[in-house]
Amino acid sequence: MALGETTVTVAGVLATEPECKQVGADGRELVVFWLRSTERRFDKIKEEWVDGRQLSVRVKCWRRLALAVRSTLRKGDPVLVTGRLSTSVPSGEEPYSRAVPEVEASGVGPNLAHYMAWIDRVPRPEAGLAGAQVGWESVDGVGKKPVVEAAEPVPVV
């Protein structure tokens, strides 16, 4: 960890569909999505749970994490994201005029407070190939939602 680096973990839902891009001369995969986190608190006067403050951050995922996010997650999925927090300024803007909070993710996963997840591990295949079956099931038992059922070539980085 670098001096002055801010590492965070944010619980929230995907506010957008993951957007996949190929960047750089070597065509590295980048997936970007917006994550929204809404505080829930109990209102003693109303005697019910109400929404509180909100946080929206842009999340960037690279390489293998990008592939997994692209194949697994959809808008509305509850997730936990951990990574480095920073701000970016759109090109052509004055510094601090419109800073965008951004997390460069080192990990993304389902929030098990909302879902049950299972992972079918597959023996590590030959170099350059990866395969896994991953799925989520709603906690209320309304059915299974398969997320990844693939074995596709993945560049080993």
Residue 123 has pLDDT above 50, yes or no: yes
Task: Convert the pLDDT of each residue in 28-63 to its tens digit.
Answer: 999 999 999 999 999 999 999 999 999 999 999 999
Q: Is the pTM of this model over 0.75?
A: no
Residue listed under structure tokens 């590295």: 28
Task: Convert the pLDDT of each residue in 127-141 to its tens digit.
Answer: 544 554 455 555 554
How many domains does one find in the chain?
A: 1
Question: Is residue 146 domain-resident?
Answer: yes
Question: Is residue 68 domain-resident?
Answer: yes
Question: Is residue 64 domain-resident?
Answer: yes
| Structural domain boundaries enclosing 71 | 6-38+49-153
What is the number of other CB atoms lying within 10 angstroms of the CB of residue 33? Answer: 26
Question: Is residue 25 domain-resident?
Answer: yes
